[in-house]
Structures are given as C-alpha cells and as structure tokens.
Amino acid sequence: MRKRPTAIVGLAVAIATAIVASAAIAGPTVSGPDGNTQAIDVKLSPTKLSKSMQTPVTLNVTTKTTTTTAANGVPVPAVQAIVDFDKNTKLFTKGVPTCDAAKLQSTSTEIALRECGKAMIGGGKATALIPVGEKVFPEPTTVTAFNGVPQGGKPVVLLHTYGVSPVQTTIVLNGVVTNLNKEGYGPRLTVSIPLLAGGTGALTDFQTSIGKKFTYKGKKRSYVSAECKKSPLKARGKFVFKDGESLTAFSTQGCTKKK
C-alpha cells in the first residue's frame, strides 16, 4: 500500500478542521423567480490580521443551492459560479506544483492524490442530488482542490469531486483566477460546473477550504493571504443556472487588526 506524503496528510487534517468550523451558512439567502435559492459564506482564518502586511490565511468557501418549487427537491443545476473576494485578499501560486485536469477525469480521490498529490492545495465536501429511476438520492462527495495548469497566464484551481453511492461519480470543476480590481473586490474565481446525470442532478451543498503553506525561493509563502485595512471583509458569488437565470449572493466577515 502506498503511503501518502506527511505534508498531504497534515494539510488534509487542517482542512477538515476548517471545514467543520465553516459548515454553517452565515450569508443571506437569495431567491429567484424559478424557485431556486442560493447562499454563499466566505471565511478567512485567522481573523486577526496585519493592517499593512499580508498574513497567511486559510480560505473557507461554502455554498448552498436549494429549490422551493421542484417536486423532487432537485434545483436547476448551476453551470457557472463567479466568486469575488475582498480586495485585501491575495493569491500566491508561484512555486506550487501544478496538476493537469486530464489526470483527474474519471478518477477516485485516492487516484487523484496519487497523480497530483504535490499540487493539492485544499479540500472539502459536497452533496449532490442524483435521480435514479423515479427516486432522488443525496450523494455525499469528497472535494479535493489542486493547483491547476495556468490558462492564458492565469492561475487555475481544480476541484475534484468524487462520490460512490448511489452511483460512482467524478466531476472536475475548473476555476480560473483573474483580478477584478474594482467595487472593493480583488481576486475573482470563475468556476465552470459540469452537468450531473445529463442535467437532471445538481450539486447543492459545497464546502471547500484552501490553506496551503509552502516555501518559495527560501521564503515562507501562503497560497492565500489577507490584511485587515478595513472591516468587514466582503465577498460575493454570482451563480448562473442551466435555465439561464442567475443569482448573486453576498457574504461579509469581520477582521481585527494586529497591534
């Protein structure tokens, strides 16, 4: 049996702890005319940050999609999520190994880690609703985040999502990072979401934590860092659904300044 590197195991433990802490949705829920509802919660830890220097943090993102109209409880699936983070949040990806998305397709979590373990930057969990016959089953899945191969010079985050029951399911969400740099927002993550079960299924609860710390050119670095020039820190997520509707949800988090 192949042993996982100690660094990967340590990161996984830290991520699991962060996910438990961020499990509840604090952001307000928004509703659309088609009956879908959407919420997002973005949290950084620790919350005590420098006013003038970037502090290493763990980024926790939780989203929740539901429906008030679908008889089987399956919301219209989202096909894209655009998440904007506070302008005082920064990403640093230089020196982090990358993973080719093709290596993650149709793989289990174990195989994904075997192929791209060095590029792992975080993880989490998600729930998918999958129709099988006339019934709908909730399928718990494991989310593993990897640093992807840049696209057009832009950093990429790959979210490998794997479940085994009621059916074995692997989907890979591709997120491209750009810089919005307006309206008080900085980094923007645009995520493409593949359809489940031909569009009859949907991801509902999705929780991801990114907290990779590493060394680059002799200096300690963090994949995500932030500073507290002004509180609260804000975030928003625009979700585009298969039927063309979009919903934008917001999240805020207070921070305190280090003396």
Q: Tell me the pTM.
A: 0.89
244 SS3 class: coil
- pLDDT at position 7 is 42
Q: How far apart are CA 212 and CA 222, in angstroms?
A: 6
| CB contact set of 219 (below 8 Å; sequence gap of 6+) | none
88 SS3 class: coil
Tokens 């099988």, residue?
A: 132
- pLDDT at position 231 is 96
- pLDDT at position 234 is 97
Tokens of 144: 């593993």
Residue 99 per-residue DSSP state: B
Q: How far apart are CA 142 and CA 208, in angstroms?
A: 10
Q: Are 103 and 239 in contact (CB under 8 A)?
A: no
pLDDT (tens digit per residue) in 191-223: 999 999 999 999 999 999 999 999 999 999 999
Beta strands in the chain (DSSP E): 30-31, 36-45, 48-49, 55-56, 58-67, 78-86, 89-91, 120-132, 135-151, 154-163, 169-182, 185-192, 202-210, 213-216, 219-222, 224-226, 233-241, 246-253, 256-257
pLDDT (tens digit per residue) in 169-193: 999 999 999 999 999 999 999 999 9
Q: What is the pLDDT along the chain (259 residues), one digit of tens a residue?
A: 334 443 444 444 344 434 433 345 557 899 999 899 999 999 999 999 999 999 999 999 999 999 999 999 999 999 999 999 999 999 999 999 999 999 999 999 999 999 999 999 999 999 999 999 889 999 999 999 999 999 999 999 999 999 999 999 999 999 999 999 999 999 999 999 999 999 999 999 999 999 999 999 999 999 999 999 999 999 999 999 999 999 999 999 999 998 7
Query: What pairing do the DSSP bridges indicate for beta strands 246-253 and 89-91?
Result: unpaired
Distances 181 to 88, 89, 90, 104, 220 between C-alpha atoms, Å: 10, 11, 11, 31, 26
Task: List the beta bridge partners of residue 59.
Answer: 44, 210
Give Dmax over CA atoms of the chain in angstroms: 60
Distance of alpha carbon 140 from the chain centroid? 16
| HSE-CB for 190 with a 13 A CA cutoff | 8
- pLDDT at position 27 is 75
68 SS3 class: coil
- pLDDT at position 11 is 46
Residue type for position 148:
G
Q: How far apart are CA 36 and CA 32, in angstroms?
A: 6
